[in-house]
Structure 1
């Protein structure tokens, strides 16, 4: 690991940790939530607005960016940070998950995956080597290994074959990544819900050696109970001195439970996607602003929240702009949801530092159980 990319832990509380991922483009406070900027933008948000919510890092998508506008073009234009006007750290996923979800449009071999673009049907090939090159051209700070996201449900033999392919690809990714000071490559643990496969995967990743480690193959339909079952042991299989990233998670209660089990980094489209569909994620659970109960409600969405949607507008107005199909609805509700997620992460960091995480989690669940305020 280079001196310019490192992870320091400042406190622990049970399995939970709080600390900092240090990168040349700035520090990432952990536990961290990374808003998803699939196509070099967090939908309905300006980059400075995303930063104002408290985000230290964004996620970009290799698959989408390689198809449009193209990694070479992004490189010619100064790299992804300059292209999208975000000078802080960026993590790019490898494209593996998106390619795997194209079941009918792809062909998987040991070499990699040949697939058809969902945009124009053109044929492309992704391999560990080409994924590393695309992510190098994009200039991301944290690069993900190219892997196969094991489908769920999967039998143990299928999960084992998929995981071992991902581990061979992890070695090829490491070799293709090369020596890039200031940039980090994360390995991805696979193995579905099978403990022995997770251990085998972790052993192989530790032997290769990475700057950070992700837990992949969860949040793919297995349900929270099964996910937490895996997280009861999976993070502890990964090196303690490196950041641990749970890919594609999740709902606020998923995040709290995963932090309690030793996870440091998260990403999910949920807060931005929910904002665009009229759902506000709040400390008292999900609120559907499209419901008629908000039509005449002059109260804020959440009086304790300082985001623009809550501090400057009423529920009635938020209901109106959503029903009218106004772009402002997506902007305000996405800002609120991202603000809430970052506030939750700060609360988790503070609680771990104070040694009061269990009390924080109890209060979090109790507040959500109360539900939204009564209608007027």
Structure 2
């Protein structure tokens, strides 16, 4: 039977060791579940970097299990028929006795570890295709997947999930109060229904109830409300999983409020048998959040960093008084630094940084299994391959491809995150507040605003405040005269704008505006929308702005919104544009058609005002709709002309941005305005 149990707790803080029991094996907590894309295409050999990274992880002794997002197949433009192939047997069965990606690769290990399957709530957000199940007689979609507990649970079970998160309705930052409350109620209803459906399962997976909230009081209410409503159920659950955290990763004080709010809502008699999982958070925040009571974490940032050729670096320094000089001592072992460590007297400092592949220092000393492989292949060969645009087009010869090296960088980054998790577990096991000391020293050394986060935690945790003071970390404790007031200050503002998920394409159309005029610019440039609003403040739009800065007065930028179609720069701060939350995907065919039609209508009305028309897009779906609009209109150039991949990472590639710059230089220098 699936269960969670606490094994050992450290009196300093809420950190604990525990175990998630599943039918496929145990997971020791605190635990890191790396996000893994198992479905990278139509076969188990598909997926580029993912296909190679999976095979490294499957054979890794430190790998305890994987997080998989149920709807992630949408990123790879699968057909409903292809998805049926993946649903015919579990992912464990698909990845047993499977063939290597390339004939010269080593035969991959089987996937045998526990699989944690998230519901894919963010992918379902505002989906036209995967909405509610139509009433009897209505048209059903070709996927037989809908935003309801029955459909998503069937999908999770087909994948062979050992641990599941219930279907949730994510809460974007700053969602208006009415919609936020409704989505929380819907998530609670969904979790209750999921547990009811599992009551008759012979060997049900472990269940984590997905919860949301952007402040202490909201998530505290959420957990308490669910526990009250779940009292009648026969099916138990193993813990809570906090979602909607990824947009808050840089706001560590808010993360503290959220974790404390969830923990404080769990009754004392349930605290030891309910785990707490954090979606999308790991790395340098692991120690702090484990100190506050988080038991498991997942993240895809280890591989996203690799896609930008970045090695994550974590350095531990040990205090001089922990070095043992007597090699005959019984109380030491040979540490990772090459000298003997007295664990009874060890004080650690940690520092985090990143290096791109071409910036690795000459004395790079990482000894993880990924870096050992890289040394064998040669770091110079890695750099040469990564910066050689032809390597994607190699055949089956034995020369490494870019994906091989991206996967190895991701494998290194996994080791960094896992090493931190191992270190946190060891400090908890040693007890005596060792983890608290470690976090306090990170705060003292200025690691990612952890000092303010730790101080924030003492606002509600008097025991933590006392422990810090007794250990001499007085400046990490909130002033007593301010603490009562700070307890009331539960909200940490994000960006001030309000979000609504109720917007429709009818809420904005530039073609219906009488106050829109072209200002004499010579080039019309289409750029895909961004989650950041206004668009011009986003990282993607800033990269384009830098590339066109020399000709800024001659370029008329129009954003391609998946909700509204063309949005000229002067309308970016309109309320419907600022407050919607929607991403166009490859399966939303009707919405794609609407966007294409609006782009064509825009071009037919305004296209003749410009000497040149271009689009800069690398993400597959947005590039596709721009290409279709240009083809139907009969004019327009989509850049980059031949990207190595149809992916967002290509948006920032220097050669692609340079191609945009060269295009503008050629068009604006060779064509004069009549």
TM-score range normalised by the length of the shorter chain: 0.7 to 0.9
Aligned counterpart for 1:90 among listed residues 115, 120, 123: 115
Residues 285 and 368, structure 1, Cα contact 8 Å, conserved in 2? no
CA deviation vs aligned residue, 1:18-64 (integer Å, no higher than 9, x gap): 11112121110111111112334782313453441612111122113
Q: Distance in 2 between matches of 1:70 and 1:236?
A: 45
| Structure 1 range deviating more: 194-203 or 8-17 | 194-203
CA deviation vs aligned residue, 1:93-135 (integer Å, no higher than 9, x gap): 11212111xx4746866999x9x99xxx979522111111111
Q: Distance in 2 between matches of 1:158 and 1:110?
A: 21
- The alignment status of 1:236 with 2:264, answered yes or no, reads yes
| Structure 1 range deviating more: 49-58 or 277-286 | 49-58
- The alignment status of 1:49 with 2:96, answered yes or no, reads no
**After the TM superposition, which residues 172-321 of structure 1 pair with which residues of structure 2 at under 5 Å, given as runs?**
172-180=193-201, 181-190=203-212, 192-207=213-228, 208=230, 209-221=236-248, 223-238=251-266, 239-240=270-271, 241-250=273-282, 252-283=283-314, 284-291=351-358, 293-294=359-360, 297-300=361-364, 303-309=365-371, 312-313=374-375, 316=380, 318-321=382-385
Q: Distance in 2 between matches of 1:235 and 1:79?
A: 34
Q: Normalising by structure 2, what TM-score?
A: 0.48
CA apart distance, 1:281? 1.2
Aligned counterpart for 1:323 among listed residues 376, 382, 387: 387
Aligned counterpart for 1:344 among listed residues 417, 420, 424: 420
Residues 131 and 146, structure 2, Cα contact 8 Å, conserved in 1? no
Residues 50 and 335, structure 1, Cα contact 8 Å, conserved in 2? no
**After the TM superposition, which residues 72-151 of structure 1 pair with which residues of structure 2 at under 5 Å, given as runs?**
72-76=84-88, 78-85=89-96, 86-100=111-125, 103=126, 105=128, 124-151=145-172
Output the aligned Cα RMSD. Answer: 3.3
Q: Distance in 2 between matches of 1:275 and 1:83?
A: 26
Q: Which has the higher strand share?
A: 1
Q: Distance in 1 between matches of 2:416 and 2:443?
A: 15
The residue number in structure 2 matching 1:373 is: none
Residues 133 and 146, structure 2, Cα contact 8 Å, conserved in 1? no
Higher relative contact order (CA 8 A, sep 6+): 1
Q: Distance in 1 between matches of 2:405 and 2:91?
A: 28
Aligned length: 353
Residues 60 and 90, structure 1, Cα contact 8 Å, conserved in 2? yes
Equivalent position SS for 2:146: strand
The residue number in structure 2 matching 1:374 is: none
Equivalent position SS for 2:294: coil
- The alignment status of 1:167 with 2:167, answered yes or no, reads no
CA apart distance, 1:75? 4.2
Equivalent position SS for 1:56: coil
CA deviation vs aligned residue, 1:213-258 (integer Å, no higher than 9, x gap): 11122222472222222223323323411221111214x2222221
Q: Distance in 2 between matches of 1:37 and 1:12?
A: 30
Q: Normalising by structure 1, what TM-score?
A: 0.82
